[in-house]
A and B are shown apart, each in its own frame.
Chain A
Amino acid sequence: MDKQVAALKNGDRREIEKLYNQYRSGFILFLSRYGLPQEELTDIYQDSVVALIENARKGLMDNLEVELKTYLFAIGKFMVFKRLKKEREINTEDLILEWYDTGSEETESPGLRAALNRLGGRCYELLNLFYYQGKKLDEIRVLMGYEKKEVLKSQKSRCLKQLKEIIENG
């Protein structure tokens, strides 16, 4: 696996900063032809780096056949087309990339965010691995050191229950 990809997977902030600075100018110039203002392109660049990190964590970049730069720029094009509402024209050059659509913020259940912030560290870690990093329960069992999958499954149910209780009790 590419060294930079490995660093992204580990969430190495120094490497992320280095990568951010490495490709920023080229990226913005590459997408400048779509007529978006500079601030919006910077915002799109940041979203694209976030997507890059997410895709690395999901293992989609483990066997990357193109350069990381090409992959990042393809994400950028995808993001621009999404903003311009030209989804049908999106062509990611056959690269496997994902961007989970979280919908608009207004649809977020009230109190859920605050409840997540108050949830115990281990519970949040479990939910993060499962829902954000897309890990399977078998992988999480190993990562978090549970002996049996069944124990982990009931732990997950308890965490969700706890979350509901925090929301209900405010």
Chain B
Amino acid sequence: MDKSWIDRYFEGDLSPEEEQALLKKVEQDPEFREEWEFQHSVKRAVHRKEREELKSFLREVEDRRSRGKKMPLWAGAAASLLLLTGIWFYFLRDNSSSLAQAYFHPLPNMVSPVVRSTDAVRESGAAFRAYEDGRYAEAAREFKKAGEEPYAALYEAVSYLAIDSTETALRTLSSFSATDGDLPLETYRKWYLGIALLRSGEKAKAKALFRELEAYPNPVQEKAGEILEKLR
């Protein structure tokens, strides 16, 4: 056995028997072992070097993103004006519906990348395509067709909320319950139910739900706390 076996090992070309023989040789022959270990350390070091270079590029991209989010001067002025108007309204009227508006964001599609491709998930493909394209009325119809699965009902309801069909969203969200598994469906159901209740002026019921959501670790825990603080 010569040292080219080590190359073949790195290329993944050895049979299991050959690999066993090589490992035995490494164990018994100090010169062979030294070469083996050196090449492994080169492999690790080249990986680290390449990854660090790529990562530092990605960090720059991240920095550019956050810098890009900073507003230009005129936008800052416009925002201040809006803020002042906002404050004025804030003191004049109940803030429930504006908070409901501010805290509503359609839930991203978390189902297709996570859940194994069952028939039901495949059937809701069209619904998710419409949903991701922002065609919410169509998405709601498609999710309704997709069946009884809680996730379909949840996305159906969120689609209604996105097109301001608050009453239909409320009915859908109250018509089922789910469990938090791989996806925290029940948590999201309560969150969107809270938003829908706020929109239709049922502040007390909404607050009760947000209090529940604030009490255990979940993706919307922080937001539930914030919205409670802002609700007077």
**A-contacting 9-mer, from B45-53, B80-88, B91-99:** B45-53
B39 surroundings in chain A (CB, below 8 A): 131, 160
A103 surroundings in chain B (CB, below 8 A): 44
**In contact, A30 and B113 (Cβ under 8 angstroms):** yes
Give the nearest-CB partner of A57 in chain B.
B50
**In contact, A113 and B55 (Cβ under 8 angstroms):** no
**In contact, A33 and B184 (Cβ under 8 angstroms):** yes
**In contact, A69 and B113 (Cβ under 8 angstroms):** yes
Q: Given the known A-B contacts A102-B44, A112-B42, A160-B39, are A136 and B116 also in contact in the complex, defined by CB atoms under 8 Å? A: no
A53 surroundings in chain B (CB, below 8 A): 54
Q: How far is the CB of B151 from chain A (nearest CB, A)?
A: 14
Interface size, B (range): 35 or more
Q: Does A108 contact B (CB under 8 A)?
A: yes
**In contact, B38 and A160 (Cβ under 8 angstroms):** yes
**In contact, B11 and A113 (Cβ under 8 angstroms):** no
- Within B168-216, the residues touching A (CB, 8 Å) are 183-184
For A148-170 the 0/1 string (1 means CB < 8 A from B) is 00000100100010011000000
CB within 8 A of B48: which of A25, A74, A108? A108
A107 surroundings in chain B (CB, below 8 A): 44
A105 surroundings in chain B (CB, below 8 A): 48
Q: Does A29 contact B (CB under 8 A)?
A: yes
CA of A112 to CA of B61, assembled, Å: 29
**In contact, A93 and B116 (Cβ under 8 angstroms):** yes
Give the nearest-CB partner of A76 in chain B.
B113
A17 surroundings in chain B (CB, below 8 A): 61
B51 surroundings in chain A (CB, below 8 A): 50, 102
Interface size, A (range): 35 or more
For B93-120 the 0/1 string (1 means CB < 8 A from A) is 0000000000000001010111010000
**In contact, A127 and B62 (Cβ under 8 angstroms):** no
For A78-120 the 0/1 string (1 means CB < 8 A from B) is 0000000000000001000000101101011100110011000
**In contact, A128 and B42 (Cβ under 8 angstroms):** no
**In contact, A131 and B43 (Cβ under 8 angstroms):** yes
CA of A24 to CA of B61, assembled, Å: 11
CB within 8 A of B58: which of A20, A130, A160? A20
Give the nearest-CB partner of B65 in chain A.
A21
CA of A130 to CA of B144, assembled, Å: 53
B49 surroundings in chain A (CB, below 8 A): 113, 116-117
CB within 8 A of A49: which of B42, B58, B218? B58
Give the nearest-CB partner of B47 in chain A.
A102
Q: Does B122 contact A (CB under 8 A)?
A: no
Q: Given the known A-B contacts A29-B108, A32-B219, are A108 and B113 also in contact in the complex, defined by CB atoms under 8 Å? A: no
CA of A13 to CA of B47, assembled, Å: 19
CA of A32 to CA of B54, assembled, Å: 24
B5 surroundings in chain A (CB, below 8 A): none
**In contact, B218 and A132 (Cβ under 8 angstroms):** no
Q: How far is the CB of B72 from chain A (nearest CB, A)?
A: 19
**In contact, B47 and A137 (Cβ under 8 angstroms):** no
Q: Does A46 contact B (CB under 8 A)?
A: yes
A residues with CB within 8 A of B = 13, 16-17, 20-21, 24-26, 29-30, 32-33, 35, 42, 46-47, 49-50, 53, 69-70, 73-74, 93, 100, 102-103, 105, 107-109, 112-113, 116-117, 127-128, 130-132, 136-137, 153, 156, 160, 163-164
Given A102-B44, A131-B39, 10 further pairs, Cβ under 8 A: A30-B110, A46-B59, A49-B54, A50-B51, A70-B112, A109-B45, A113-B45, A116-B42, A131-B46, A132-B47
Chosen A-B contacts, 7 in total, with CB atoms closer than 8 Å, are A20-B61, A69-B113, A102-B44, A109-B41, A131-B46, A132-B46, A163-B42
